[in-house]
Amino acid sequence: MINLFLFCRAGYEKECAAEIQHRAAELDIGGFVKTNNNDAYVIFQCFQDGDAELLAKKISLDSLIFARQMFAAAQLLKSLPEADRVSPIVDALSEVSKAGELRVETPDTNEAKELSNFCRKFTVPLRQALKRSGSLLEKENPKRPIIHVCFVASGTAYVGYSLSHNSSPHYRGIPRLKMAADAPSRSTLKLDEAFIHFIPKDEQEQRLRSGLNAVDLGACPGGWTYQLVRRGMFVAAVDNGPMNEDLMNTGQVKHYMADGFRFEPPRKNIYWLVCDMVEKPSRVAELIEAWAINGWFKEAIFNLKLPMKSRYKEVSQILATMQEILTENGIEDFHLACKHLYHDRDEVTVHLWLRPETGF
């Protein structure tokens, strides 16, 4: 296949494009990006047929900041005939064999969402036809490739597949999270999504367990603290603002009216550090680095507010500097990941896990 299709947030096509261009160049895979503002997707068109599969295999989706999902795609199918849209799609997918799932999707834009009813209905006959052609297994299989058919306009679709171990488990790469009625702020969904994204399901019981100590810098009104409390943790909430009363009544939260940049945890048994302060990203990164060097936490999740320009460049520089500083200070064993999550707007979320080899 010739194209790599990447889903991103509308308005972030340039960042997603810059990132995939950079990563493909590192692998010596030639091609160019095709993107339009606010389309919520980017195409990297390879010079050589077959290279899209290589990219989809070699670049880990988790290592991409701005792509929510990606798949190797054939040439764009245009003007699909209303009377039979199924056959051309089945033909275009003839090289895919025994896939385990079919997703008929649209980019995350209001215009494309109007196609979602059609997509739902269309899935049924398409699934049957792909089973008959052998492209899709009779029974869903989570270990086999996923077929993606993404309608970017009526009668116009990119079709292809992703590898199940290098693909988002979510339709369009978007997790569906429910806002709890008693959560103090919508921001709560950002940390909820971050935990789901960065912590594998089978490790959540250990790494997000009840009884752990946490610090929340820039905590008010308490949306992030809420996520920690609901998992049974004890939280030092640092902010000069007012905390949600119900959260305080749980007895699991101690509110420190203090500057998050000067706060030092009174006890040094902190497992989770989370930070959602609206500040210059480099300043937040320096703070997290200082905490890491002091050994004040085991895992951290923090937001970096994005600048107006050169957003990909700036974030990559901050992450590269963080890696350097940690290494220079004797922390060699760490895991650092960054994602523009669905609930993030003009910010990205970073996860830093120190010495993962030493266990939870």
Query: Residue 62 in contact with residue 337, Cβ under 8 Å?
Result: yes
Q: Which of 34, 131, 254, 305 is catalytic?
A: 305
Closest CA to 270 of 252, 291, 242, 286: 291
CA distance 9 to 335: 25
3-state helix, strand, coil split of the chain in percent (to 5) is: 35, 25, 40
**Contact by Cβ (8 Å): 20, 33:** yes
Per-residue x/- marks for ligand SAM, 136-175, CB under 6 A? ----------------------------------------
Q: Which of the residues 270 through 309 are near ligand SAM (CB under 6 A)?
A: 276-279
Query: In angstroms, what CA-CA distances link 26 with 20, 30, 276, 283, 323?
Result: 10, 10, 32, 29, 19
Residue 349 binds ligand SAM (CB under 6 A): no
Is 280 part of the annotated catalytic residue set? no
Stretch that binds ligand SAM, among 96-104, 115-123, 153-161, 233-241 (CB under 6 A): 233-241
| Residue 135 found at the interface with ligand SAM (CB under 6 A) | no
String marking each residue 237-256 x if it binds ligand SAM according to CB under 6 A: -xxxx---------------
Binding segment toward ligand SAM, per CB under 6 A, in 27-35, 50-58, 185-193, 195-203: 185-193
Please count the residues of this chain forming the interface with ligand SAM, following the rule CB under 6 A. Answer: 22
Q: Does 185 bind ligand SAM (CB under 6 A)?
A: yes
Q: Which is nearer to ligand SAM, 224 or 271 (CB)?
A: 224
Pairing mode of beta strands 234-238, 253-256: parallel
Out of 223, 235, 292, 354, the residue judged to bind ligand SAM by CB under 6 A:
223
18 vs 233, beta carbon nearer ligand SAM:
233
List, as own/partner pairs, every contact residues 173-176 make where C-beta atoms lie below 8 angstroms and the sequence separation is at least 24, other chains included.
173/7, 173/67, 173/68, 173/69, 173/342, 174/68, 174/108, 174/342, 175/342
Cβ partners under 8 Å of residue 265, min gap 6: 215, 236, 296
Least separation in angstroms between residue 279's CB and ligand SAM is 6
Residues contributing to the site for ligand SAM (CB under 6 A): 184-185, 187-188, 218-224, 238-241, 259-261, 276-279
